Chain A
């Protein structure tokens, strides 16, 4: 008896908590409104199923509780009912999956006009690299990383010379400009996560991962590491600013290129880098 009431209260309480509590996702600042829509569809479908199943359960517990002289029916199987329920479930699942895969297709298809922005992670800070005027990032390798080459950029690669380096600073993005976030780590797994952008992806040493989005709202956003990366994981944070295209250009002009950076450091000659490569690359 009490259990039937408690089951109903659980349903009512869950629904009220969902509707009235202040804890909800942060307002979106990227183009991934579709992800939010898919989430809302999922909430509706699963919510309705939850309410129906638990209320049905509560009814059964109440209506068929043991009383003197009461006897259960004998009802081993009911093919029609089982097929009907299977079919309904399949429809519900398809209603979730189809829009989901549709949006995933967009998520993994980077538009041609996206500019590349490299995020460079190490325990426990973020750095960035942006392509220079050639619009391309130079090649890089963990073996090349040193005091004079913090991001491990290949000194022989002409595409790398004009790359803009933001060593340990904040990132600026232009509103409305699609960006392909190219993700690189040199030590352990990390994950570049900005809740307002909805997207996230692990950064894996030894490989380059990516995702894309378009920032749509000017503002300051917090970057969090979303993949456990050691003792200071919870403190690996940073800031990213979405600004107008004009402000973005102003910011970009102030940044140092790899060539500038290397010029001020005598040890950063290609020859010195060669020996480092030989030393650090394993047979």
Chain B
């Protein structure tokens, strides 16, 4: 834990905090299991998230089998169907996307990209992972509990979530779900505080905020948002747990359930919805902002061009983050809240489309007169733009209160949010894994398998969710076990549903190829060497690859420029790393 030597460079501000080596592991357990190294914790987070993500994938197959071929599979009862959709949704949103972006990519990339040796609180960081793992195990336990997991839908709306007409409502399912969420939030808070303090306090000399790669900006802003949003879910979960176990009535009015008067009274189901969506809407951007940041960097590196409008991109991230806290009730236009709220929330919701659109323009303009290498990360980034533009535009339907009325609670909504916060962020996750796998393992992922994976995933996912909008336009409500052939349909949707199911099975199978590639390439992948993508950012500049404990050897890196000096005129190569004090960028980038 001795202080390390300081660099003295008059061009850069002096270090504010002494450079200290993070604690070394002393034995097998603290090295391989209870590791305090952010990179190791990142892998643990990512592996756990991906493992539980595959459970969610199998659940989605089950629900699609029911929708595509109703009545063919006896084991998919209505109860089972609702349990599948509920657990699929909750796992994907919270336990996969949030955990993988923040716990996985956040842990791995933040210290490396800002030039720190580790997260600032390594022990708390380790605890964060183990509590997350406990949350996942409690979640998994609900599959084996009597009555099975909750089938209340991932939104867990009361009163039905804790009543007997819903699977798991009066059994262990809902209790385990709420306990698992509470654990998740505790674990996340420990990690989240780490990410925020590390970005604010542990940046190396010369790494100003406006020189941070957009990846860090995205993860940082999302973490701040999560720290503000998750408490709403925490209190909602605790209150509902009290309603369920102790007989309080926070969310429960006087009820008559199947002819029997229950001993609840005076509570408000809508209050839960407000709390849930005060968390739930920022949650969309907690998933989206890291994806925005990462995809900006993928595009820039693989197009050999600076990200267009860096400062605008930073302010768009921050602006979207702030605005996302005043749009939550657009999920509740037809919830029975006062209808005049519709005016306010429709306006704020459509305003948020402006900074979001700016980001899309800047991604596309980054490709203008670029030198585009169609690597796997670039292909996934392009897939992200297509699915995100599509899903973002259908958001303009649902955000505009009166247009939402006929579409709300139909399959159109399901199609929209899967495109915009399912497929699009997952495209970024996959692209990011192809991009940083060489850094974490020292080997490249197999190209052939990667191309099969990309094409099936991209085209397949579009084939699933684009037609699904039209199932909703026809009028099919979401969360229907079976629609049948009601008179309002302009055409039966059976064939379309079967097609979507086949596409979903295919896309799922392609993920198995990806999983195999992840394992296979560990041994058989081509050696990556230093900085295989010729990127400018610090994570590729560690003395040893993959980076070792403490990241930087004896001396911390010094930063002289922003992260986007690609194809700089006059430079010998088409990239200039951030630690290069050499020729400065032209005017506009000079200030950065």
Contact = CB atoms under 8 A, between A and B. Distances in A.
Interface in B354-371: 354, 357-358, 360-362, 364-365, 367-371
Interface string B270-311: 100000000000000000000000000000000111101111
A50 B469 CA distance: 15
Interface in B449-470: 459, 462, 466-467, 470
A97 interface: yes
Interface in A100-121: 100-101, 103-105, 107-108
Contacts of A198: 405-406
A193 B409 contact: yes
B10 interface: no
Contacts of B340: 108
B483 A93 contact: no
Interface string B136-156: 000000000000000111000
Given A23-B496, A61-B372, A204-B269, A74 B409 contact: no
Given A3-B374, A89-B353, A201-B336, A231 B78 contact: yes
B223 interface: no
B390 interface: yes
Contact of A228 (B153, B358, B588): B153
Contacts of A232: 78, 165
A136 interface: no
A97 B481 CA distance: 34
A196 B257 CA distance: 30
A191 interface: yes
Contacts of B373: 66
Given A187-B257, A198-B405, A205-B255, A104 B346 contact: yes
Contacts of B493: 23
Contacts of B479: 228, 233-234
| Most B C-beta atoms less than 10 A away, residue of A73, A74, A104 | A74
A280 B489 contact: no
B145 to A, nearest CB: 18
Nearest to A199: B405
A234 B342 contact: no
Contacts of B589: 76
Given A89-B354, A187-B255, A60 B401 contact: no
Interface in A1-18: 1, 3, 6-7, 10, 14, 17
Interface in A188-230: 188-189, 191, 193, 195-196, 198-207, 209, 220-222, 224-230
Given A10-B462, A72-B567, A123-B257, A282 B409 contact: no
Contact of A195 (B269, B303, B470, B475): B475
A103 to B, nearest CB: 4
A200 B255 CA distance: 23
B78 A3 contact: no
A266 interface: no
Nearest to A103: B402
A72 B305 CA distance: 6
B523 to A, nearest CB: 30
A277 to B, nearest CB: 10
Contacts, number: 344
Contact of A42 (B310, B386, B403): B403
A23 B354 contact: no
A68 B259 CA distance: 77
B370 A280 contact: no
A25 B364 contact: no
Given A74-B306, A226-B409, A231-B165, A6 B334 contact: no
Interface residues of A, number: 105
Given A74-B568, A207-B336, A100 B474 contact: no
Contact of B335 (A65, A71, A202): A202
B410 interface: yes
A104 B358 contact: no
Contacts of A74: 305-306, 566-569, 585-586
Nearest to A38: B403
A39 B406 contact: yes
Contact of B405 (A3, A17, A107): A107
B249 interface: yes
Contact of B400 (A42, A200, A280): A42
Contacts of B166: 188, 230-231
Nearest to A224: B477
Interface stretch (B103-111, B192-200, B391-399): B391-399
Nearest to B401: A104
A280 B254 contact: yes
Given A64-B369, A200-B405, A221-B488, A21 B312 contact: no
A100 B254 contact: no
A73 B304 CA distance: 9
B409 A143 contact: no
Given A17-B467, A189-B269, A104 B402 contact: yes
B247 to A, nearest CB: 10
Interface in B561-583: 564, 566-569, 574
A186 interface: yes
Given A10-B386, A57-B364, A122-B256, A75 B306 contact: yes
A221 B488 CA distance: 7
A263 interface: no
Nearest to B254: A142
Contacts of B159: 187-189, 205
B266 A196 contact: no
A147 B396 CA distance: 47
Given A201-B334, A234-B481, A143 B270 contact: no
A191 B269 CA distance: 14
B45 to A, nearest CB: 31
Contact of B396 (A46, A77, A123): A46
Given A23-B491, A100-B401, A226 B477 contact: yes
B224 to A, nearest CB: 24
Contacts of B371: 64, 66, 70-72
A50 B391 CA distance: 10
Given A53-B389, A57-B385, A73 B160 contact: no
A253 interface: no
A25 B462 contact: no
A246 interface: no
A39 to B, nearest CB: 5
Given A23-B491, A220-B487, A77 B588 contact: yes
B534 to A, nearest CB: 12
A245 B562 CA distance: 74
A230 B163 contact: yes
Contact of A65 (B372, B467, B483): B372
Contacts of A93: 350-351, 353-354, 396
Interface string B95-118: 000000000000000000000000
Interface in A240-283: 279-282
B397 A234 contact: no
Interface string B118-143: 00000000000000000000000000
14 contacts: A17-B470, A60-B368, A75-B368, A75-B369, A76-B586, A82-B358, A104-B339, A188-B160, A195-B488, A205-B255, A231-B82, A232-B78, A281-B254, A282-B263
Counting from the closest, the 9 A-B pairs by CB-CB distance are A206-B253, A230-B165, A282-B265, A195-B475, A22-B491, A209-B336, A188-B160, A108-B339, A46-B393
Given A74-B566, A188-B166, A228-B82, 17 more contacts: A24-B470, A38-B403, A60-B368, A64-B370, A66-B372, A71-B304, A71-B574, A76-B585, A77-B309, A77-B310, A77-B311, A206-B253, A206-B267, A209-B336, A220-B487, A226-B409, A231-B167
